[in-house]
Amino acid sequence: MKGSQDHDTYANQSASASPIDPRGVASIHIEPQAPEYRTMHPQPLGPPPAPPQMISQFNHALYPVPTLASGQRPHDERIMQSGVALPLPTDPNVHPFPIGLPPSGPLDARQFSQSSSSNTSSAALTGPRSYDSGDLALIATDLNNLVSGMIFEVNNELKNENDVKFKELDQAPLDFVPPGPEMPRLKSYNHIPRNVGIGIFNVSPKERVYLQEFYLGFASIILPFSAFDPVQMSYYNPMRDILFYCAYNESFMLAAILAQGARSVFMQSGSVDDEFAYYKYLLKCLELLGPALGDHMAKVELAPLPNIEAVLLTVLLLTSSNAANSKQNWRPHLRGAKDILLKHTTSRKDLSKSKLLLLCKYWFISFEILAGLGLKFGGSIESEEELDLLFEYSGRDEVHVLSNLGLVAHSGFYLIGGYHIDLIPAWKDLIKLLNRKRKNLDYKADESFEYLRLLAIFERQYNVEYVNKKALLKNSDFHGGFIPAGILLDLISVNHGHVVISWMDTSQQMYCLAATVTILTEFLGVSFDSPQVQALVRRLTFYLSFLTTCAESPPLIKCAVMMIQWPMMVAGHNLFRAEEKLLILEFFALAKKAGSGSAEYTASRMKRIWKNRETGLTEPVDDGVDVVTY
């Protein structure tokens, strides 16, 4: 197959290799530090809204987060980003940026009224699109249940109103100031600025720590592959920009973001204060959701689209955090999101005219693809009719909007999914086949032409080239040894040399190979240990060959390995060589370190599969656990 090169060519490079062009090294993906901590509104803008009745049972627990002592850090002083260790700013007025990247500071109030010329779309919002109160009630109920489920898992001692540690904090106000009547509200979500910083929020110093953790950490889990701005010559995270931009206008989303930041800090610090902050902001998210919906319903019984977009984004944000949790039943919480998107799709309205609604659709679809491909029970969409509607590929208009948002590269590479945007219809059809087999114990694999059609699609897509089909490259593979910027390349040191990973080529090929293995083993009856399957498995594990030549875990693009967990899971289920098992386990350890909530369980499940094969036993491997490889 074209592009299949010998592994040793890339794994063992001599010290005599031509030196890396310093310009090329500087152009490798490095994401900037969180922007400086100046605020747009130095004075509070009025009291927060009164607590709604919908969560009165939680109101007693709205305590503030204890402030860190001067100089105290809740987690490690340095954050690894794309191979470069960058110190976190200790002075809130310092605005450090990596060498080779131009600074892009936080936006001021004037910039919120307009977007840059390079970030606008011809598809403008033609007017407020409305939903009835039933739609809002459904999505609000989903968010309420989702957050309540997350709250349930918090340490019970923190939820005891008689707990001495927090009792005297019971009536203290919330630290951050939600947007009030004096704060300018955004008229449209169709013009999203780039590099939105944490300085737009009027928050306490401790909350800045949580926002910074979200900015540098959790946002990279949501979107490991960043977009590239050819004007600024730097990478940016469009998902983070969108979430911050909406959170500036919707306080319940800001509370959700603070909750995730606090949780990330807690996972590193183990501090009870940080865990309690996570709990507090989840509660505040529920409290603020009530007025947000009530204010709109009081107007005309109809809510303008921007508000429901923000609620929908908050649901997807928290679901992305929660789906890898083995104790959570995440599917019911997406019911409202699914119904809203279905309603809009069946109404035949032009989805591309609302950028955020289109983003919600494709974020939801990407989540469903991972669940539909990798889970025993599939995703939250059960009927093929709903799959056809939600996965409807409306052509270049939608791709143009996604590209304008920074989520589809010029090459067609889909950053949220990790593959070409044109693969989405093929994923839908493969999920249909898997669902038929899941629902029917007597399923007969006799849809031969459909299997062949999909195999042909994945073979064609396997041969798509973004940078170089070899995927694992040497600096000599680039003209003049110069490694270009903006195409998701990663540079790592191995055995006195370097390997350049083309993540677009790597991820694209791995997904196509994993899909091919799935069709062969699930529908064509080809055994996992057959020469045909093992040839594909060896190719899948080849992409990890650099791990065997690194003295320690390589400093990759932050969270990039999380994008290829499903292909690696498919490889792990079908390999049997001891050296490949070690390589797969090392990969999932790396994914866990990057922040994957499912990596540890996936590795444990693979070990049980291997043990059953070695011993001839048929012990269960799932234990009723149902987590997404996210």
- Helix or strand (DSSP H, E) at 84: strand 84-87
CB 70 within 8 A of CB 270: no
Q: Range with the lowest mean pLDDT among 150-154, 285-289, 512-516, 557-561? A: 150-154
What are the two backbone dihedrals, phi and then psi, of residue 522, each rounded to the nearest 5 degrees?
-85, -30
Amino acid making up residue 600 = E
Give the whole-number percent of the chain exceeding pLDDT 90: 38
Non-local CB neighbours of 303 within 8 Å, separated by 6+ positions:
130, 131, 133, 136, 293, 296, 297
pLDDT at 24 over 70: no
Mean pLDDT of the region 276-283: 89
Question: Which pLDDT value is given to residue 92?
Answer: 30
Q: Which two tokens stand for residue 95?
A: 């605005």
CA distance 80 to 553: 12
CA distance 531 to 440: 29
Question: Which pLDDT value is given to residue 193?
Answer: 87
CA distance 256 to 150: 11
Q: Output DSSP code: residue 490.
A: E
Provide the sign of the torsion angle of the four alpha carbons 34, 37, 39, 45, taken in this order. positive
What does the pLDDT look like over 74-126, one tens digit per residue? Answer: 333 322 333 332 233 333 333 322 222 223 333 333 233 333 333 333 333 33
Tell me how long the chain is: 630
Return the higher-pLDDT residue of 278 and 597: 278
CB 65 within 8 A of CB 280: yes
Non-local CB neighbours of 396 within 8 Å, separated by 6+ positions:
none
What are the two backbone dihedrals, phi and then psi, of residue 497, each rounded to the nearest 5 degrees?
-140, -160
For 215, 238, 365, 562, the CA distances from 220, given in Å and listed in that order, are: 8, 11, 19, 10
CA distance 249 to 307: 9
Question: Which pLDDT value is given to residue 475?
Answer: 86
Structure confidence at residue 301 as a pLDDT band (50, 70, 90): very low
CB 337 within 8 A of CB 596: no
CA distance 535 to 52: 60
For 33, 568, 595, the CA distances from 592, given in Å and listed in that order, are: 23, 13, 5
pLDDT at 463 over 70: yes
CA distance 602 to 589: 10
Question: Which pLDDT value is given to residue 395?
Answer: 65
What does the pLDDT look like over 426-447, one tens digit per residue? Answer: 999 999 999 999 988 888 989 9
CB 359 within 8 A of CB 307: no
CA distance 548 to 422: 34
What does the pLDDT look like over 161-217, one tens digit per residue? Answer: 434 344 333 333 455 555 544 445 555 666 788 899 999 998 999 999 999 999 999
Question: Which pLDDT value is given to residue 156?
Answer: 59
Question: Which pLDDT value is given to residue 105?
Answer: 33
Terminal alpha carbon distance of the chain: 30
Return the higher-pLDDT residue of 26 and 318: 318
Q: Output DSSP code: residue 351.
A: G
Domain boundaries, the chain: 103-116+129-326, 329-443, 447-599
Non-local CB neighbours of 272 within 8 Å, separated by 6+ positions:
155, 158, 165
Question: Which pLDDT value is given to residue 183?
Answer: 46
499 three-class SS: strand
Question: Which pLDDT value is given to residue 424?
Answer: 96
CA distance 598 to 414: 22
Structure confidence at residue 512 as a pLDDT band (50, 70, 90): very high
Question: Which pLDDT value is given to residue 349?
Answer: 59
Q: Range with the lowest mean pLDDT among 47-51, 226-230, 423-427, 603-607? A: 47-51
Q: Which two tokens stand for residue 345?
A: 């799709």
pLDDT at 574 over 80: yes
302 three-class SS: strand
Q: Output DSSP code: residue 422.
A: G
- Most confident residue range from 173-177, 290-294, 570-574: 570-574
Q: Output DSSP code: residue 63.
A: P
What is the reported pTM? 0.77
pLDDT at 132 over 70: no
pLDDT at 330 over 90: no
CA distance 491 to 483: 9
Residue 17: CA atoms inside 13 Å, Cβ hemisphere, count? 23
> If you average pLDDT over every residue of the chain, what do you get?
74
For 1, 272, 527, 564, the CA distances from 458, given in Å and listed in that order, are: 13, 48, 20, 16
Question: Which pLDDT value is given to residue 112?
Answer: 31
Q: Range with the lowest mean pLDDT among 119-123, 484-488, 522-526, 576-580? A: 119-123
Amino acid making up residue 45 = L
pLDDT at 34 over 60: no
CB 170 within 8 A of CB 342: no
What does the pLDDT look like over 547-565, one tens digit per residue? Answer: 887 766 676 787 899 999 9
What does the pLDDT look like over 350-402, one tens digit per residue? Answer: 555 688 888 999 999 999 999 999 888 888 888 999 999 999 876 678 899 99
Torsion angle of C-alpha atoms 510, 514, 517, 521, degrees rounded to 10: 170
Comparing C-alpha atoms, which of 490, 487, 488, 532 is closest to residue 513?
532
What does the pLDDT look like over 47-67, one tens digit per residue? Answer: 333 333 333 333 333 223 333
Question: Which pLDDT value is given to residue 507?
Answer: 98
